[in-house]
Structure 1
Amino acid sequence: MASVITSREKDYSQWYNDLVLKGGLADYSAVRGCMVIKPYGFALWENMRDQLDRMFKDTGHVNAYFPLFIPKSFLSKEAAHVEGFAKECAVVTHYRLKNDPNGGGVVVDPEAKLEEELIVRPTSETIIWNTYKDWIQSYRDLPILVNQWANVVRWEMRTRLFLRTAEFLWQEGHTAHATAEEAVAETRQMLDVYAQFAEEWMAVPVIKGVKTANERFAGAEDTYCIEALMQDGKALQAGTSHFLGQNFAKAFDVKFSNKNNELEYVWATSWGVSTRLIGGLVMAHSDDDGLILPPRIAPLQVVIVPIYKGEEQLKAISEKVQVLVNELKALGIRVKYDNTDNARPGWKFAEYEMKGVPVRIAIGGRDLENNTAEVARRDEKTKQTISMDGLSTTIKNLLEEIQQNMFNKAKAYRDSHITKADTWDEFVDILNNKGGFVSAHWDGTAETEDAIKEKTKATIRCIPLNNEAEEGSCILTGKPSSQRVLFAVAY
């Protein structure tokens, strides 16, 4: 199996595609720019989704669902918002087909033109705030803490599985508040939720920060983000949380009567992560032999493969394994006993290695006699012989060790790829020869930000929230700067 994977060193982009396809996560579809998420990939997304959903609900949020279609006039109401998404919108103009009288199959019925075109949602701020107008009259109706799990369409021309597709799955939170302070606190809280999920469940270290005006979400006052680093030294925006101010409330005339019986506009937030996280997970951890998945969200945490001669030996091994399987399931561990006879053990080992299963257990005739099992861990590609006595508890502890080890490894790589640059030559040299985040001074202007991007393809990924004041000079213009920001080439 390993021989069919392109190495990271040879072609990182092809390596990534090989892992997504051969690891059984996704496939290309008949619709250009769209993907099919295969069962194994969807199981991974379900584990991520379910944990995030628990975290949302633990912070007081509830789920709802809003229409896929948005009247075109809604997008026109918030100027910055429509400007940000206009080039990515899919538009529905007709509602009926008919048979071609010339025998050419079906055609659009020209008499079935919609009075107003409908936009297939690129994001839901407009349809939701039009709805909130009917839900909110008084401060007693606030806050509204709603999340939606849905699909969205952004008409991308250059696509990559999971990382950038025309249609993808995501969640989008949309909240309404009585004060700016409450809305900002919500925005920061959800950023913390995303960071905690990325680090504790995906084992991906992230940097929390705020976007520059150039990189801000269309229609937002401030965009907060978490930024991760992939193994090729490129950054990945892994989640965003937006303070929308009163922009959408004003666009849709959403007012409430405050405690002083005065009318004022509602304050808003929105926040979201998507199936792009799966792409980040693959690139942050995997190797040239396949996927490496963190145990907490791996679809399958443990696989057990019997090595036997004859049906009698298989029966004896299976009886022993069933006890272990029951113990592992009782501990909440997702386990599979693969006793199928359609492939040799070696092929199975390679297959589960490709799929990134954290722990593999092999039990053969000699293990049966010695009451032992061979336990292999995917993250370090090591194996050892362990007694069957108390093995389920040992495996549970091993899974937590693997989870922490994966985070530590990713963090060590990330930390070693945050490099300071004080001159333009240093900046360019780091980007070209080392990669990662470059911590450098910037004069604070959009013009300089654009010029740096034009020259190097690097963007300001964020202004870190824990930034310290530091006087310096912009790497490009030499103008005064009061703090460093993080640049990187990004996906």
Structure 2
Amino acid sequence: MKLINQITPIEEDFAKWYVDVIINGNLIEYGPVKGTMIFKPNSYGIWENITKVFNEIIKKKGAQNVYLPLFIPKSLISKEKDHVEGFAPELATITKVGDKKLNEDIYVRPTSEVLFAQLFKSEINSYNDLPKIYNQWSNVVRWETTTNPFLRSTEFLWQEGHTSHSNAEEAIQFTEDMIQTYQKFYKNYLALDVICGKKTEKEKFAGADTTWTIEAMMKDGRALQAATSHYLGQNFSKMFDVSFKDQSNKLVNVYQTSWGLSTRSIGAIIMGHGDNRGIVMPPRIAPIKVILIEVLANKNEKVKEISKQILELLQNNNISSKIDNSNKSVGFKASQSEIEGIPIRIEIGPKEIEKNEVLVIRRDTLEKYPVQISNILLFVNNLLEEIHNNLYKNSQKRLKENLVYCNSYEEFKKLIKQQKFVVVPIVKDSFKWEEKIKEETLATSRCILVSNIFNIKEDKCIMTNEVTNNFVLFAKSY
């Protein structure tokens, strides 16, 4: 395959390839402050589509959108000890405005549990007020030491859902339902296969009873935490006195959940589907699904006429499309469309028009098809589905081939070096062993498996040799 000059080969340097793809794919510009970025139309268009699709999904579950303040006073966030300790290293703090020192430090929100707790306190009085399901689309700030576009940035965009329930069972069920919702979303829209499980005590969200996660395998074998759902229990409601009167008029603290999906999902798309030509965009979330490139249009008016007709046909059928009207050469336009990952390219030239045809090129395999103009709408619709299914099949295949089981620490270390997802038996109280594993292999626990995918009921822990039925996925991660 001929490589685009601006992009470092994926096999040569994955990290450099990733940055090359992001810049040449017109996704971002770096912001003026370390770790910040400017979302350009190509990346913000992805986020707009994610917002549109996921909004519809959660509204069917009863969610209502709200927007909470960017600033949190120190006294409020400090009420929940575990929560503030979990975010302490990343908190951006405002201490003065102009020359005037503030009476109290203000934090720029890293997440909004404490703000939602306050809101719920003001709105919930009776069991009739429950469940309360809120969501906000917002930005958050976490002052990361090491930053990487979309994966770990100082400021990022996300949806942050929060619920309050009258009983633990309902809240737990909602927590689990949301992680399954994220799993389906990644499959149905981002064409990525993921593993679902619970975080260990060491890795769970600060302030949660239980954290569920979906973990995606990137093309370099590393894990990416793709979305999380937390059962908060009564940790925040007791601290912030969020309570209701039950049917016997007894005062009870609510049971809460929180769950989120961020612009990290754009990084997952790039690293899960991209190749040496650039991005490969999943059709159902792509801002532009079809790009039309005119060949010799300045010498043939019919080319422009047919091009416009096809554009209108596609747009009238809700297929986002555009004509590349730039002054660049046809070859450059074709290469740029591949770098940007546009799922389908249609080239329209005099030779094709003579046969009442156009040339259709799919981005995922680069296969070319001469298609009758009269059949173009049906062909494009079918091809978009085929591209989505092929991308998901490839993601599923990669995960299946690189997900392995072992019950020996020596074997584990070898497999981690090979960039595998490794499932091992390890005792439930594994905090110190996770630290040792990370120190010696750079691998971290991604999740506790809840489905018996290897059909093993129990085995000896790789660190203590005790018999356990606790199976944990480890991998190097972002």
Shorter-chain TM-score range = over 0.9
- 1:364-403 matches, within 5 Å, as 364-403=349-388
Residue 135 (1) aligns with residue 135 (2) = no
Give CA deviations for 1:366-416 in whole Å, capped at 9, x if unaligned.
111100111100000111211112211110110010001000011101110
Mapped partners of 2:144, 2:474: distance in 1: 24
Pick from 144, 166, 182: which aligns with 2:170?
A: 182
Mapped partners of 2:230, 2:298: distance in 1: 62
Residue 487 (1) aligns with residue 474 (2) = yes
Per-residue deviation, 1:17:
0.5
Per-residue deviation, 1:328:
1.2
The residue number in structure 2 matching 1:477 is: 464
Pick from 73, 76, 94: which aligns with 1:74?
A: 76
8 Å contact kept, 1:452–1:476: no
1:56 aligns to what SS in structure 2?
A: helix
8 Å contact kept, 1:65–1:149: yes
The residue number in structure 2 matching 1:324 is: 310
The residue number in structure 2 matching 1:441 is: 425
**TM-score by structure 2 length?**
0.97
Per-residue deviation, 1:476:
2.3
Per-residue deviation, 1:472:
0.8
Mapped partners of 1:432, 1:221: distance in 2: 33
Per-residue deviation, 1:76:
1.4
Aligned-residue identity in percent? 42
- 1:79-478 matches, within 5 Å, as 79-95=81-97, 97=98, 109=99, 112-308=100-296, 310-311=298-299, 313=300, 315-340=301-326, 342-433=327-418, 435-444=419-428, 445-467=430-452, 470-478=457-465
**TM-score by structure 1 length?**
0.94
Give CA deviations for 1:187-224 in whole Å, capped at 9, x if unaligned.
11111111111111000101111111000000000000
The residue number in structure 2 matching 1:54 is: 56
Q: Quick one: which amino acid aligns to residue 114 of structure 2?
A: T
Give ranges in structure 1 of 5+ residues lacking alignment.
98-108
Mapped partners of 1:480, 1:157: distance in 2: 39
8 Å contact kept, 2:197–2:448: yes
8 Å contact kept, 1:470–1:483: no
Q: Flag the 1:265–1:301 CA change in 2: closer, same or farther, 3 A.
A: same
The residue number in structure 2 matching 1:65 is: 67
8 Å contact kept, 2:183–2:194: yes
Give CA deviations for 1:285-311 in whole Å, capped at 9, x if unaligned.
000111100000111100111111644
Give ranges in structure 2 of 5+ residues lacking alignment.
none
Mapped partners of 1:288, 1:162: distance in 2: 20
Aligned residues: 473
Give CA deviations for 1:317-364 in whole Å, capped at 9, x if unaligned.
121222222221222101112244x11100100010100000001111
Q: Quick one: which amino acid aligns to residue 343 of structure 1?
A: K
8 Å contact kept, 2:223–2:476: yes
Deviates more, 1:475-484 or 1:49-58: 475-484
- 1:26-41 matches, within 5 Å, as 26-41=28-43
Q: Quick one: which amino acid aligns to residue 39 of structure 2?
A: I
Per-residue deviation, 1:469:
5.8
1:2 aligns to what SS in structure 2?
A: coil
Mapped partners of 1:290, 1:451: distance in 2: 37
2:164 aligns to what SS in structure 1?
A: strand
1:3 aligns to what SS in structure 2?
A: coil
8 Å contact kept, 2:446–2:475: yes
Mapped partners of 1:310, 1:34: distance in 2: 42
2:433 aligns to what SS in structure 1?
A: helix
Deviates more, 1:469-478 or 1:121-130: 469-478
Per-residue deviation, 1:81:
0.5
Mapped partners of 2:76, 2:371: distance in 1: 63
Give CA deviations for 1:154-198 in whole Å, capped at 9, x if unaligned.
111210011001111111001111000111111111111111111
Q: Quick one: which amino acid aligns to residue 19 of structure 2?
A: N
Pick from 4, 7, 16: which aligns with 2:6?
A: 4
2:179 aligns to what SS in structure 1?
A: helix
2:219 aligns to what SS in structure 1?
A: coil
Mapped partners of 1:90, 1:215: distance in 2: 22
